[in-house]
Amino acid sequence: MKPGEPSRTAMGVALRRATHQLIDRPLVFDDPLAVTMLGEEMAQWLRADPRRGEARVAPRAMRAFLVARSRIAEDALRRAYDQGCRQYVVLGAGLDTFAYRQALADLRVFEVDQPWTQQWKRARLADVGISEPGSLTFVPVDFETEILATQLQRAGVDASRPVFFSWLGVSMYLTEAVVWHTLATVAAMTRSGGGITFDYGATVTGNNISHRLMAAALARRVAAAGEPFRSSFAPQVIADHLHRLGFIGIDDLDDDAMNARYFANRDDGLAVRGSGRIVTAWAG
């Protein structure tokens, strides 16, 4: 991502979420604002031919992963809400629409992103006529110069009460050290309850040539967009680190688990294949 410019991968994620609303049935992730959020010009372009790119398997598998991770995060949030959590922090919000369609009483939402990406999003919201709800607080953070915990506390996040975090589509673009530091920050801010859902790039092992080829192709695409992957992890390393930070009830989903939970018995073949892993961890 270049300073002053929005994330190209954030726009790609939004496009795939919108495509899911138009062509996939049944929906895995219902987002009635996804197409609108694209902006009028791109929304018209997509509606004119919603199946752009469907001839290739990899984009379809990536779309499945993207909608699955949003569904998993929001399912986990609802569980946290039922347990009394009333604060939700979206790290790396991009064009996420949860805050503008959610109906959970008394839930405060904090969207965290780079200042220029957040400015771009707010301009997009104004352009498409989506209002900013009073329950939403924008938290611009320059991760190179500002401390995440400090900025969240200044924005009103109360770490003495439960907080739930989502952190989607970010960790793989960061160094290992930054990933561990961010998870430590979340752990410290969820001592009173809550947790986190995040995805990560899993270190490719084994002899599955298809998964290796798809992983390599995806890495090339994001690098070409100027946002290269910088980290990947073995699942056991993630689990061990989360346990050391004090998290419990760790649910780390691979392709098979996601497909069994969200894509079973479909007629369209939509399924996750080698795109990454999604983990939910609860505060101890």
Cα separation, 109 vs 164, whole angstroms: 10
| Residue position matching structure tokens 């892993």 | 277
Which domain range does residue 116 map to? 8-283
Q: Is residue 172 part of a domain?
A: yes
Amino acid residing at 145: T
- Joined tokens for residue 271: 């399924």
CA gap 234, 229 in Å, rounded:
15
The CATH number of whichever domain residue 54 belongs to comes to 3.40.50.150
pLDDT value of position 259: 97
Could you give the percent of the chain with pLDDT greater than 90?
76
For the segment 244-254, the average pLDDT, to the nearest whole number, is 97
* Average model confidence (pLDDT) across the chain: 90
* Averaged pLDDT for residues 121-148: 94
pLDDT tens, position by position, 19-40? 999 999 999 999 999 999 999 9
Structure tokens at 234: 């073995």
Structure tokens at 101: 């369609």
Q: To 10 degrees, the CA torsion angle through 87, 68, 36, 45?
A: 160
Sheet holding 247-253, edge to edge: 136-140, 108-113, 87-91, 163-167, 194-200, 277-283, 247-253
**How are beta strands 194-200 and 277-283 bridged, if at all?**
antiparallel
pLDDT at 6: 63
Domain membership of residue 2 (yes or no) is no
Band (83; pLDDT cuts 50, 70, 90): very high
What is the SS3 assignment for 5? Answer: coil
Is 260:178 a contact under the CB 8 Å cutoff? no
Q: How many CB atoms lie within 10 A of CB 220?
A: 12
pTM above 0.95, yes or no: no
Question: Tell me, what's the pLDDT at 52?
Answer: 79
pLDDT for residue 9: 80
Detail the DSSP E strand segments found in the chain: 87-91, 108-113, 136-140, 163-167, 194-200, 247-253, 277-283
Average pLDDT over residues 84-105: 96
CA atoms of 158 and 152, how far apart (whole Å): 9
Among candidate residues 242, 198, 201, the one with its CA nearest the CA of residue 70: 198
3 inside domain: no
Q: Does residue 199 sit in helix, strand or coil?
A: strand
Three-state DSSP class for residue 48: helix
Separation CA 235–CA 200 (nearest Å):
9
Contact status, residue 168 vs residue 10, Cβ threshold 8 Å:
no
- Domain total of the chain: 1
pLDDT at 143: 78
Q: Does any domain span residue 1?
A: no
- pLDDT-derived band at 223 (thresholds 50, 70, 90) equals low
The answer to whether position 242 is within a domain reads: yes
